[in-house]
Amino acid sequence: HSSNNRILRLCSHLSNNQLCAAGHHFGPVFIQEPDDVIFPLDSDEKKVVMHCEARGNPPPTYSWYVNRTEVDAEADYRYGFIDGNFIITNASEITDYGRYQCKAENSFGTVLSRDALLQFAYLRTFSGKTRGGVSVREGQGVVLMCAPPPHSPEIIYSWVFNEFPSFVAEDSRRFISQETGNLYISKVQPSDVGSYICLVKNTATNARVLSPPTPLTLKTDGVMGEYEPKIEVHFPTSVLAAKGVTVRLECFALGNPVPTITWRKINGNIPKKARLRKSQAVLEIPNIQLEDSGTYECKAENPRGGTAFKGHLQVYSESEMDSGEKLQWECKATGRPRPTYRWLRNGLPLTSQVPTSLHSTSLLLLIADSGMYQCVAENKYGAIYSNAELKILASAPVFVHNPVRVIATLGKDVSLECKPRASPKPRITWKRGDRRIQLSRRIMLLRNNTLRIVNSSRADEGNYVCRAENQLGSAEMTAVLSFVLPDAMRVELSPSRVEVTVGESVVLSCKATHDTSLDVAFQWFFNQRPINFQQDGQSSTVDLMIRSILLKHAGKYGCRAQTSADTVLAEAELLVRGPPGPPGVVIVEEISDTTATLSWSRGLDNHSPISTYNLQARSPFSLGWQTVKTDPDPVTGDMESAMAVELNPWVEYEFRVVASNAIGTGDPSAPSRGVRTKEAVPSVAPANVSGGNGRRHELVISWEPVSEEFQNGEGFGYIVAFRANGTRGWKEKMVTSADSTTYKYRDETFPPLTPFEVKVGVYNNKGDGPFSRVVIIHSAEGEPREAPTDVKAQSISSSEIRVTWKPPNPGPGRPRGYESPDIFRIYWKDMEQEESGQKQRTVRNETSMVLTGLEGNSLYLITVKGFNSIGQGPATAAVTAKTRKAPPAHPPSNLMWIQEGNNVSLSWDPVKAKDNESDVIGYMVLLKQEGRGHNQVTRTINPSTMLSLPEGGTYIIEVRALSEGGEGAVSSQVRLVTSSGKLVSLLPSQPHTPLHDL
């Protein structure tokens, strides 16, 4: 655009723009802008480098801003500059965290870089506090908390089981949340018992720390029954994610049986690019776009029920800018939320410097002056910059490359380009030799000044001259055109057809035969789409290796070789053999009480014939999918129907089919709809029939209930049959509750411990099932009929009496235990205080007991009775016993001692008993060494004794008087400290009388 005879030059931010080439003066253009930096606090260097580089002529100078404030390098010795790079030594999280921006400027203008965030990476250690154990029932769900230490930035969680490096493997039953770090076990098994340690790893530094262990144990009060799922891990109800990132949604539930997780998008489909991870507990959506927004639901289900969670995913985007290279610039950006705009000229806000006008969706800038211009589009998630330079200049035409050699294929179309650098725009003419080229249908001039020759021939070879001219001068460029034959280039791709098996590797080799004077470049294609790499080169051969092949790698591979003269494409077919694909939908054609006829459609055999099919079923009573028996057996690969046999009646089943071939077993089909087998007569009898005990005249019968899985229909119950030994007719009683485990029959006509033959059967609405085997069960026994005999009572101290007796004998012909006591009760009372009667029971079948806590010198009346589960028997005749007088209450006193070598001679004043105390019959001396568990006890009838001290140490001596009433009060302690048998000091623990001649 020209105005007032001035020539305007526009230099965009693109680094390869020819208008910005060396040799011309122009304003700064960024080659490298600062990136976000995460700096490890434990780095040895402690040095952060923020990079910035710009092109410009003259070369630009640099300055830096942190949090919008210009950095003063002289104010902080830690700051330094090398070219445009900003260096911070001894970086500190407290002082240096923030947003950094580079400014580049020269005499033609100023530009500001994008903001770069400087963060600091660290990972503290866990608290050393011991973690409490977790105890749950088998079958119950549990959550083990990680409680990670402070960290920055993100961390990765894993769990160690018992000892490093044994890691917890995640599956449908165990899940580690990467949001909370917690370990979730939906259904605890005995194998889960052990010690769990949370391991966290810093994503920036790879540093790792371990938590204290958390023990997991099983309770012994039973097994947790089945219960419906409870979702413990879920994503937020509102998820906000940036466009282009990968979104990871977590969902995991506790439950018994282990729940199955499924996902769906409300009012839409889950994106095809989405992937399910960790047994479907994680939904991962890569490269998220605006159309992926919506409400997502995860559902957890098991046979006991289901529960669901919903959350809304909203996608936002940073501004995306399109700036036109025009004198009248229009700055447009897209983003969510909608971006706002601001303009900079030479790094400063553009206000009244030049005319501007603001519109709702764009900003129109009417440019009148030279300088560096920047449009900044921003929303709350970020800001981006678009740069351009406006400069007044003039230049004559210049060709960068001259002459130019063009080699083309004979008979094909040829294009000769003419692209001079010039301002203002030059006028272009083409000539061949001295004559101007005459344009025609075969030779034409395109709008971009390119000369086009259609259906070339040998006559077209030669030199072509492009002349560019403006008011400042002119220049010419010569294009030398030559041809190669059409078949001069060939491409061979070998092998052209290859068959491989999943997991193998293959190499496709592409070889080009071409004019050796031309460079050749290769490009690979898969099913006509370019593969994301390109092989340039001087070599005439290029190989493509595919490692660990998957089924998805099957297809057509193309190799395109290209020279300046020609382009040739060759293709090869790759066929991949693998396990079969999943069979089609499974249909239950017929159902009986024990069979189900299934049909399905064939899935892909993946180039290896299907050999067999495996039929699987699951029910509320199975642990997941189980293989079922079939008719025929085996089910061969040419079949598409079979019968599942030996099913249980009146059970709801789902079925699926799995195909196998020589390569392996494929994925299963989708489950069939749930169907219930028909009812049938029960076929399983109760187990472990037993009984006994109960009250007098009762026959108690018990059994293990039959599982619902084997009840075979509605109206299930039990038939209890019994008869006394030696009789013929059975008595039968109906028990209508399927959960019953006991039946009691009462008849006062049969004596205790009568033997009965007993069996228990089953029935339902379809009829009677089998009985258990016959067992012998005795009716309840009666209470004891006889009293114990030979009762004796003997005083053994002032507070104790020993009582003994003989149990009654069963009558002749009676079985042992018949009406016999299991336990005995002893009754006693003080003759002087008859209201103070007491009783005490024995442990089973004991025939003696020591009565304790009695009054000294007192007469007691004692009787014994027998007891069993029915009641008590008659009491024995009473016997009497008198406790002995109490031992002396006064302790030995005036302890004295003399050392003689390794021996100590000890004496004390005799103890005299009072009238109400037992006479003294001797003394007990206790010698104990501190730090040792062994005590030495010496008894003597005299008030003196000799003690041996075998080794050095500290000894304590105590003395008690002995009497028929027991041990008397203890004396004060004497403490002796010795070394190798030599007495060092005498240390009484209480005042005593020492000997004066020691």
901 is a domain residue: yes
Residues 677 and 653: beta-carbon distance below 8 Å: yes
961 vs 956: CA distance, rounded Å: 17
CA gap 791, 314 in Å, rounded: 91
For residue 3, tell me if it sits in a domain: no
As a three-state string, the secondary structure of 949-965 is CCCCEEEEEEEEEEECC
d(CA 164, CA 209): 12
As beta bridge partners, residue 122 has: 152
Assess if residue 2 is contained within a domain: no
Strands 305-323 and 238-242: parallel
Whether 107 and 52 map to the same domain: the answer is yes
Choice among 34-38, 276-280, 479-483, 984-988 with the minimum mean pLDDT: 984-988
The reply to whether 619 and 551 lie within a common domain is no
Cβ atoms of 168 and 174 within 8 Å: the answer is yes
Asked whether residue 342 is domain-assigned, the answer is yes
Q: Which range of residues forms the domain containing residue 135?
A: 124-225
Residue 782 has pLDDT above 80, yes or no: no
The distance of Cα 589 from the centroid of its chain, to the nearest Å, equals 41
The reported pLDDT for the residue numbered 857 is 83
Q: What's the pLDDT tens digit per position in 930-972?
A: 877 678 889 998 999 988 877 777 888 899 999 888 888 889 8
The answer to whether the beta carbons of residues 720 and 735 sit under 8 Å apart is yes
Domain count of the fold of the chain: 10
Distances (CA, A) of 13 to 391, 407, 423, 466, 657: 14, 34, 19, 29, 61
- Average pLDDT across the chain, whole number: 83
Domain boundary among 67, 92, 121: 121
Closest to 700 in 3D by CA, of 784, 752, 771, 777: 777
**Residue 242 and residue 289 in one domain:** yes
Q: Within a domain: residue 498?
A: yes
Reply yes or no on whether the pLDDT at 561 is more than 60. yes
Single residue among 453, 484, 515 that ends a domain in this structure: 484
Identify the domain boundary among 555, 577, 599: 577
Note whether 307 and 345 are same-domain residues: no
pTM: 0.43
Regarding whether 101 and 161 lie in a shared domain, the answer is no
Verify that 143 and 60 share a domain, yes or no. no
Question: What DSSP letter does each residue of 287-300 carry, written as one string?
Answer: S--GGG-EEEEEEE
Residue 38: exposure state from Cβ atoms within 10 A (0-12, 13-18, ≥19): middle
Shared domain for 827 and 738, answered yes or no, is: no
The Cα 158–Cα 881 span in angstroms is 74
What letter would DSSP give residue 459? G
Q: In this prediction, what percent of the chain has a pLDDT beyond 90? A: 39
Whether residue 40 is found in the same domain as residue 81 = yes
Strands, E, within 404-461: which ranges? Answer: 404-409, 414-416, 421-423, 427-432, 435-436, 443-445, 451-453
Same domain, 215 and 140: yes
Whether 612 maps to a domain, the answer reads: yes
Query: Strand pairing of 944-948 and 151-152?
Result: unpaired
Phi, psi angles (nearest 5°) of residue 138:
-60, 135
Give me the residue label for tokens 């299934």.
598
| pLDDT (tens digit per residue) in 234-278 | 888 888 787 888 999 999 999 999 999 999 999 889 999 999 999
Give me the residue label for tokens 């016997």: 879
Q: Which residues contact 792 (CB under 8 A, 6 or more apart)?
A: 803, 804, 805, 879
Residue 450 lies in a domain: yes
For residue range 531-550, list pLDDT tens digits in order: 876 544 445 678 888 888 99
Amino acid 412: pLDDT? 85
CATH at 908: 2.60.40.10
Same domain, yes or no: 313 and 372: no
Please determine, for residue 872, whether its predicted confidence score (pLDDT) is greater than 90.
Answer: no
* pLDDT at residue 680 greater than cutoff 50: yes
Same domain, 632 and 673: yes
User: 423 vs 66, which has greater pLDDT?
Assistant: 66
Query: Are 252 and 283 contained in the same domain?
Result: yes
The total number of residues shown for the chain amounts to 998
Residue 435 lies in a domain: yes
